[in-house]
Chain A
């Protein structure tokens, strides 16, 4: 964690860069994009999309929108990351809305946006990343609480701890094929728990 003085310097630097960008020097915003690209990508966009390629596109779109709307931004004495995060989250919701079946997931994300606060107003990128990671894990953990223990275990072993299928099957004392089915059902149940009840019902009836 950086000192208050360093934090103040970072904020002052952001303010100057924003002013230059608002005056027409679009290149002035480059350092800010480069600084916050990582927490936006790995902390905000990718955990809400899952697909790396789409996440990269959304990150680029976030930058484009920020460039377009930089003139409307008002400096409030805190990091511009807050604003960029807002744009990125909106873009993520847009992506989810493009998929009809994911409409409820988009709705869940939109509701989450309204109810959660920005993790931090610090300009410290490391702190930002840590806070975003904490939020993301909290979201997942909340959804997983609704699952059965076996489902939670399957997800924990395979997706969180990244253990190979064979090791997961052995740990749960099932065959490889049966573990695949267990994980399949676990992910489906997770999705239902996270905010897509119609999606899960549709899959169940298939």
Chain B
């Protein structure tokens, strides 16, 4: 259909880059999003709530449109609703008024007061000091739990605090790794000094035969190339030696308990 393109700037128009000269043709996606926003704006005008689920970007645009609308078409809150909200707030059992406590020091009730907010450690998240605190929040609130309704899910701690926590965590991890390495090395040295080779726990009480050891002593040194194919015999020898050690451990235990130690064929 013949339509005047809407994107040619009218004569003498000045403005943003988006409107200088002809505006770009909308894409299909933009057309769809524009239509969606149009329907949502209709809901704003009608005082209807927005749909519960919508794309995040569309919601941000809708919020912006609603802010403009609300600034020029203020919506009255019905008296019934006001009573409801006030009654609900007063009925909350957790919201107990704290009794007045006169505190010396600077008065913090000035609006727009920006005061330092101590950080609850460990792991406590407090709002950036640049955010104005409600007057009267002052000292008594510094170590309190985050106030009801505060943001959650987003780490609002100052960058310096996050950095300190990160550095501390890294230092602790490195210290733990170092301690583990030192302990392991110590164990190795202790193990190396005992008969039976490295890596043994202290005080095992096992005889040399029962410890992990090389099979070299059984096989008698390097294997001649002519004998390299006779692996089966060597394996049988090593296996018999290890089985003997195993039986000694098992039957020694049973003998101590008075159990018969006959080996079944």
Interface residues in chain A, defined as those with a beta carbon under 8 Å from any beta carbon in chain B: 21-24, 26-27, 29-30, 33-34, 37-38, 41-43, 46-53, 56, 58-61, 63-65, 67-74, 76, 82-83, 85-87, 89-91, 93-95, 97-102, 105, 110, 113-114, 116-118, 129, 133, 136-137, 139-140, 146-151, 155, 158-160, 162, 165, 172-175, 177-185, 187-191, 194, 196, 199, 202-203, 206
Known: A65-B134, A133-B74, A151-B15. 14 other contacts (CB 8 A): A21-B97, A50-B44, A50-B69, A51-B66, A64-B92, A72-B141, A97-B154, A148-B19, A149-B10, A150-B10, A177-B35, A178-B5, A180-B37, A196-B60
Mask of B109-146 contacts with A, CB within 8 angstroms, 1/0: 10111100000000000000011111111101100000
Interface residues in chain B, defined as those with a beta carbon under 8 Å from any beta carbon in chain A: 1, 3-7, 9-10, 13-16, 18-19, 23, 26, 29-31, 33-35, 37-38, 41-42, 44-45, 47, 49-50, 56-57, 59-77, 81-83, 85-86, 88-90, 92, 95-101, 107, 109, 111-114, 130-138, 140-141, 147-154, 156
Which residues of B lie under 8 Å from residue A114 when comparing CB positions? 112, 114, 130, 132
Cβ of A148 and Cβ of B18 under 8 Å apart?
Answer: yes
Report Cα–Cα, A50/B67, bound state, in Å: 4
**Chain B residue with Cβ nearest A18:** B100
Report Cα–Cα, A163/B23, bound state, in Å: 24
Tell me if A's interface is mostly helix, strand, loop or mixed: helix
Cβ of A42 and Cβ of B60 under 8 Å apart?
Answer: no
Tell me if B's interface is mostly helix, strand, loop or mixed: loop
Report Cα–Cα, A47/B153, bound state, in Å: 25
Chain B nearest CB: distance from A155 CB in Å?
6
Give the residue of B13, B38, B74 whose beta carbon is less than 8 angstroms from that of A180. Answer: B38
- Count A-B contacts at CB 8 Å: 302
Q: Known: A26-B96, A49-B67, A90-B133. Is A181-B85 also a contact (CB below 8 A)?
A: no
Give the residue of B6, B13, B97, B132 whose beta carbon is less than 8 angstroms from that of A172. Answer: B6
Cβ of A159 and Cβ of B41 under 8 Å apart?
Answer: yes
Q: Known: A46-B70, A50-B65, A194-B64. Is A72-B140 also a contact (CB below 8 A)?
A: yes
Chain B nearest CB: distance from A34 CB in Å?
6
Which residues of A lie under 8 Å from residue B45 when comparing CB positions? 162
